[in-house]
Structure 1
C-alpha cells in the first residue's frame, strides 16, 4: 500500500473518530480518588480508558474498582425510565404518573395514620447536597421523624465514640500525609489494602521511616502483611485487649501525666478500673499471649509519635462504641493526639459516609452536625429553612429499628434512596419480609436492585458520571465532583427527584433549586456555626482545592489537624471512659460452635449492586467464598472448593469453601457482596449496640456443614 493511500485511510479514520473527556471522582470508597474517563467513538462504536488525576489525598492513584467504575455506569441494565408495579409487574410510566402515584399514596397514608407513617432511608454514597436535601425533604416536605441511612452500618460506633470522647466526630483527626511521621501505627479491624488501597503508600512510607506497625485482626489480610506484629485476637474481645494494653501502660509508668491532667477528664476512674485488670485474664479472654499484649503496649506507648486506625472489624459489634472508646483511651493516656503524626482515624467505608451524617440523614442530626433535640439548633435550622421550629419533627430511630417498625406496621410507606438493605442489613430475610408489607414503597436507584424489586415505584437516578456535587472524604476534606456526561433516557438527579416530589406534595417553595451549587450554598448557611461548619467552602474554591472542615469563613484555610490546643467539649477537655472487658454478644455454643465474621474483598463494594455489574470486577471474583482453616475444615468434613451451608439462629446461607491458614481455627470469614443464597447478611446478628445502634455484623455464632446435593438441602 502506498504512503498516499495509508495517509488517506488514516485521515478517514480520524474523520470518523471523536474523543470526549469526562473529569470525575471514583464513586466508591471514602478516599474519593480523581480521574478522567476518555470516551473514544470510532465509526459509531465507543471504547473507554481511565486516567488517574493527581489530588492531595491519593496522589494520582487508582485501584481496580476506580479503573472499572464506568462499566456499571454504562451497563445496559441501567434504569432509564420510571417504573410502576401493576398486577405484580413493572411497567414503564411517565414521571407525571409516577409522582402522582407517590403523592396520592403518601398523602392518604399520612392522613389516616399520621406523618410518621412514612419513613425515609438514605445512603452513604449520596452527595452532600443530596444528603442534605433528603434530610430536609423528610422533615419539611413529609414532616416525618423517621429518617436514617445505611451509614448507620458504617461508622456509627466510631462517630458516637468520637463525639463522646472529643466532642466532635470527623473520620481522621489528622491529614493522611502525617501517617509517615508516626513511629507506631495500630490498625484495628481494618483491611485498608483491600478497602482503601490507594492510601496504602502512606503506611508503606511510614514503615520505611521506621514505624512499628501493629495489626489487630482475627485473620491475616493484605494489610497484615505489612505488620511488624499481627495480633489474631478472638472475635469480639478487642476492648479487653486494649484494657490489657492500658494495664501495662499504667503499671509501667508510660502515661503522659501532664497531658492527662491538663486535657482530659475521668482519669482517676479509669485508673481504678485498670488497676484490677489481670493480664492472665485478658490473655485467656482474647486468645493472645500476655507477653504479646505487653509488647504491643510498650511499642505504642514508647514511640514518640503514634496513630490508631479502626474500621468495621471492631466497630460492627454490639459493643463497638465502647471498644472504640477504649482505643481512644489508649491515644489519650499516652498524649498521642493533636500533634503531627499523632491521632486517631475511623476509616470511613462509603464514599460519603462522613458528609452523609453531618448534614441530616441521621435520625438525631440536623445540618452542621447539630442535634435535632437541641432547641437552639432546631431554631437555627428552622430559620434557614423558613419553617416554624415547632413543626420540625423530633428524633427518630436507627436504620435497622426503622425496619422493625415497618414489620410492626408503624411505618407503612417508605422512600429509599441509594441503598440496598435486602443485601446489606443484618438478618436480611427479616428486612425483606418487612419491606414486602409496606403499603407504598418507593426506591430511587441506578438499577433494579434486590431491594428495588420489592418496590411499588422505582425512579431512575443519575450516576457519578452525570451527577455533579460535593463529597467529604475520610480525612474530612470536602471535594467537588464534576459530572458532564449526558444522562440516559429520562433519568433525573437525586436532588431533582426530591424537588419534584416536594412540589407535588405542596412543599415546592422550600425546594426551588436549579443546581447542585444552589443547594450547597444553602447547606453552607445551614452548617454555619455548627461542629461541621462548611460556611467558608464554596464551589469556586473547591474547583481549585480540597478543603478540610471545619472552615467557618471564606478566608479560613480549613482545619487539617484537630485538637492541637483543645477538644470540642465546652471545657476543652477529652473524656476518658471506663470500658468493661465483656459485653453481651452472641457466643458460640455446642449447637453453633464457630464464629462467622464478614468483610470486603478488593474487587467488590458493599452490596455489589454496582461492582457485580462490572464485567472486569465480577470476573475476578464471581461468588462468595468462606475462608476456613484446614484443621477446622477437617473437623467438620468440609472439602476445599466445596459448597457449604452456614447456619445461625436466623437462617442459612450457601457459599463455597476456601482453605486458608490465615484465619483462626474458631472463625470463618465470608464477604458480604452477594445476594440470594450467598447473602451472608441473611444470617448476621441484628442485636444492636445500645449506644449507637450498630448491628453485630462481625460476631455471629454459626455451624457449618457440607452440601452434597444442593437440591436436597
Structure 2
C-alpha cells in the first residue's frame, strides 16, 4: 500500500470519529417497520441515515416516510422544556413549576366544576403502555369519565363492525403471510400503495400467484392500478354496492350452506331482505354496471379462498359500521373466514391504531377490550388497580362529542397527549372555538402544533427514537420498539409525565412504575381473560419471536395466527349476519348549491395532520401544499385552470387549495388530502354528523361547490 493511500485512510478515519446504531421502528403507519438509525459523527457534525431491519411483517422494507423519520425527531423545532403561556406568549418554565400549575388548576376545576369537567384526549400513536396508563390516569388519577382518543376518527367503524359481526376485533383475522396465497381479494376503500407502501409486496405476490384483485374506490390510485377490476363507485354508495354483490351471490347460489347453518345467525333475515333489492337500481345509484357487479360476485363466490380488506374510504362514513358489516356479510355467506387464505383485514391507519384501542383509551372501554359498563369487567379491573369498583367512572362520550360538551360548558379542562384535534376532527371551526373556551388546556407533544399553540401549558415528550415500548401492528402482532437514543433537552416519556402528575395528585401508589416494561407487566394482568388477552406476552418473548400475535393466553403458547377457525367470539360461537337496508344509507346528496362530492385521504409523503412529516425537509419537498384533485372536464365546467387557486366551500366552511387536474377521478367527485392546516385544512368542510354505533364522523361524505380565485 502506498504512502498516499495510507494517508487517505488515516484522514478518513479521523474524519469519521464514531458511528452509533440505534434500533427502533417507524413511528408512522400500522406496518410498524423495524429499522435502525445510523449516526455518524464527522468532525464536529452528525450525519444520519435510516435503514430497514428484517422482521416478520415488513421483511426489512421501508417507505420514504420511514427513511426520513429521523428528520422530525432531530428537528430544531422540538419542544425541549415545558412552556407556559403568559400574556399570549409561551415562556419556558421548570417541570416543577409546570406540575404545580397542573395540580393547582385541576384541584380548582374539580372543586368548582366537578370531576367530569376534566377530560383526556389520547392518541393511537403512543405505545400500548402509554395508552393503558392514560386510561388509568383518567379514571384513577383524575376520576373522570371523559376520555377518548383520535383513533375514534380512524378505526372506530371497522372495530365496531367486527365486534358486532364476529364478537371480537383484531384488525386482521389472518396473518399477512396468507395474503399471497389467496385466490380473490377485495380492496374496499383502501389506497395501501400510498398509505402502507411496505404492505404492497404481499398483494403483488398474490397477483403473481394468480389472485384476482377487485378495488373499490371513486379514484384511480396506485392501488387500483394493481387490480384486475376497479369499481369506481359514487362516494357513499358502498352499502348498496355490497348489497348488490350479496344479492347475486345468493341468487346464483354461490354460498356455503354448511358454513351458514353451522357458524352464522340471521341468514334467513338477510336473504329475505336481499330478495327485495333491485340490481338495476343499485347499478344506477352506485354508477357500477351490472356486468361488473356480476363479475365481482362470480369470481369471489366461485374461488376457493378470498379476503376482504377495508380502510378509511368505506369506514369514514356516518354509516361506516353498517358499511363494514355489509362487506363482512359477503365473507360469511361464502364461508371465507376462519380458514387458510380467507378472512378479513381492517387496514389500520395509525401506528398503534390496533393496540391503542384495546386497553382503555376509548370512552366505553377498559383494558383487554373489556366494557366499562359490564359489571364483571369493572370488578376485575378495579381489583387489578386496587380501587373500589364503585369509584370507577362509567362511560363517557366519543372524541368529537367531548368538544360539544366543552361548548355546552360541561367540560372545562382538557389534557391532550400526542394528538392535534384542531386539524384532525370534522367541523374544525367548532374544535378551535371549544379549545379556546377551556379554562385550562394542557398539551403533550413534540412540537407546537396548531392545538398546542392554543394551550395554557405545553409539555415536551420524547420521540420514537427515545421512547421504548410495545405497539400492536396491522395484523395484531405485538412488537417491541427498542429506543435508546439520547433524550432531547428536558423532554420526558409520556408515561413518566402521567406518573409524575398522578403522584402530585395523591395517586402515586397507583402509578409507581420505573420503566415501560413494568407498565406492560401490569397491562398483561389487566388484559388477562379479556378479548385482547396479552397475558402470555413478555418483553423477552417478543424479542425472541420478533413479535407475538394476540390473543396469547399464557407463556407456553405462540399466540394466535388465525382467528375464528372453530368459533366466533360471541357467546354461542356464531357470527351475526346483519340486515343493512339500503334505504337507510346516509349518503351525501349533491344539488345545485353543492354539486360535487368531496372525498379526503392521504398522500405517501405525509402522515395524519402532517405535524411531524412537514418537519422533514425530504418529505415536505415532495408535497409542500394541499391540492384539489379534479377531473379536467369538471375543471373546465367551473373555470378552474391547472395549478390555479380554488375556493372549496361546504355547509361548514371553506378552504383555498391549488387545483390538480387528473383523469383518474370521477367527474362528480373532488379529492383533497388532509395533512395541512389553516386555510388548507379540508376538515373545516366536513360535517359533524356521527355514525350512530361508533360515533365516527363522515370524512368521506361531504358535498361542496368550487370557484376559481382570480
Per the normalisation by structure 1, the TM-score is 0.98
**Pairs within 5 Å for 1:267-346:** 267-346=267-346
Unaligned runs of 5+ in 2: none
Measured in 1, the distance between the counterparts of 2:381 and 2:423 equals: 35
1:653 aligned residue? 655
1:483 aligned residue? 483
Per-residue deviation, 1:42: 0.8
Per-residue deviation, 1:433: 1.1
Secondary structure of residue in 2 paired with 1:20: strand
2:9 aligned residue? 10
**Pairs within 5 Å for 1:365-514:** 365-514=365-514
Residue 696 (structure 1) aligned with residue 698 (structure 2) = yes
- Judge conservation of contact 2:588–2:703 (CA < 8 Å) in 1: yes
1:522 aligned residue? 522
Per-residue deviation, 1:13: 4.1
The alignment's C-alpha RMSD in Å is 0.9
Measured in 1, the distance between the counterparts of 2:12 and 2:281 equals: 75
- Judge conservation of contact 2:236–2:588 (CA < 8 Å) in 1: no
**Pairs within 5 Å for 1:632-643:** 632-643=634-645
- Judge conservation of contact 2:598–2:670 (CA < 8 Å) in 1: yes
- Judge conservation of contact 2:626–2:676 (CA < 8 Å) in 1: yes
- Judge conservation of contact 2:367–2:527 (CA < 8 Å) in 1: yes
1:711 aligned residue? none
1:209 aligned residue? 209
1:150 aligned residue? 150
1:566 aligned residue? 567
- Judge conservation of contact 2:444–2:461 (CA < 8 Å) in 1: yes
Secondary structure of residue in 1 paired with 2:377: helix
Measured in 1, the distance between the counterparts of 2:540 and 2:302 equals: 45
Measured in 2, the distance between the counterparts of 1:495 and 1:5 equals: 55
2:99 aligned residue? 99
Measured in 1, the distance between the counterparts of 2:590 and 2:439 equals: 39
Per-residue deviation, 1:699: 1.1
Secondary structure of residue in 1 paired with 2:68: helix
Measured in 1, the distance between the counterparts of 2:533 and 2:641 equals: 55
Residue 629 (structure 1) aligned with residue 631 (structure 2) = yes
Measured in 1, the distance between the counterparts of 2:363 and 2:589 equals: 30
Measured in 1, the distance between the counterparts of 2:296 and 2:471 equals: 36
- Judge conservation of contact 2:651–2:685 (CA < 8 Å) in 1: yes
**Pairs within 5 Å for 1:134-213:** 134-213=134-213
Measured in 2, the distance between the counterparts of 1:585 and 1:378 equals: 38
Per-residue deviation, 1:686: 1.2
1:664 aligned residue? 666
- Judge conservation of contact 2:236–2:586 (CA < 8 Å) in 1: no
Per-residue deviation, 1:570: 0.5
Measured in 1, the distance between the counterparts of 2:13 and 2:288 equals: 66
Deviation per residue, 1:272-306 (Å, 9 max, x gap): 00011110010111111112111111111111100
Per-residue deviation, 1:5: 5.4
Secondary structure of residue in 2 paired with 1:507: helix
Per-residue deviation, 1:609: 0.5
- Judge conservation of contact 2:237–2:587 (CA < 8 Å) in 1: no
Measured in 1, the distance between the counterparts of 2:181 and 2:293 equals: 24
Secondary structure of residue in 2 paired with 1:213: strand
Measured in 1, the distance between the counterparts of 2:406 and 2:170 equals: 31
Deviation per residue, 1:346-386 (Å, 9 max, x gap): 00000001100100101111000000000000000000000
4+ residue stretches of structure 1 with deviation over 6 A? none
2:556 aligned residue? 555
1:707 aligned residue? 709
2:586 aligned residue? 584
Unaligned runs of 5+ in 1: 709-713
Measured in 1, the distance between the counterparts of 2:383 and 2:693 equals: 31
Measured in 1, the distance between the counterparts of 2:98 and 2:160 equals: 38
Secondary structure of residue in 2 paired with 1:165: helix
**Pairs within 5 Å for 1:24-39:** 24-39=24-39
Per-residue deviation, 1:430: 1.1
Measured in 2, the distance between the counterparts of 1:692 and 1:239 equals: 17
Measured in 2, the distance between the counterparts of 1:627 and 1:314 equals: 19
Deviation per residue, 1:425-452 (Å, 9 max, x gap): 1111110111000000000000000100
Measured in 2, the distance between the counterparts of 1:483 and 1:281 equals: 56
1:244 aligned residue? 244
Measured in 2, the distance between the counterparts of 1:586 and 1:231 equals: 19
Per-residue deviation, 1:49: 1.4
Per-residue deviation, 1:481: 0.2
Measured in 1, the distance between the counterparts of 2:606 and 2:334 equals: 38
Deviation per residue, 1:173-231 (Å, 9 max, x gap): 00011001111100000000000110101101111111100000000000000000000
**Pairs within 5 Å for 1:224-263:** 224-263=224-263
Deviation per residue, 1:114-147 (Å, 9 max, x gap): 1000100000000000000000000000000000
Per-residue deviation, 1:3: 3.8
- Judge conservation of contact 2:319–2:691 (CA < 8 Å) in 1: yes
Per-residue deviation, 1:6: 4.8
Per-residue deviation, 1:531: 0.3
- Judge conservation of contact 2:137–2:502 (CA < 8 Å) in 1: yes
Per-residue deviation, 1:8: 3.9
Measured in 2, the distance between the counterparts of 1:584 and 1:27 equals: 35
Secondary structure of residue in 2 paired with 1:301: helix
Per-residue deviation, 1:10: 3.2
Secondary structure of residue in 1 paired with 2:647: strand
Measured in 2, the distance between the counterparts of 1:405 and 1:292 equals: 46
1:84 aligned residue? 84
Deviation per residue, 1:300-346 (Å, 9 max, x gap): 11111000000000000001000000100000000000111100000
1:219 aligned residue? 219
Measured in 2, the distance between the counterparts of 1:3 and 1:408 equals: 81
Per-residue deviation, 1:12: 4.6
Measured in 2, the distance between the counterparts of 1:3 and 1:622 equals: 50
Per the normalisation by structure 2, the TM-score is 0.99
1:69 aligned residue? 69
2:361 aligned residue? 361
Secondary structure of residue in 2 paired with 1:415: strand
Per-residue deviation, 1:15: 3.7
Measured in 2, the distance between the counterparts of 1:66 and 1:13 equals: 29
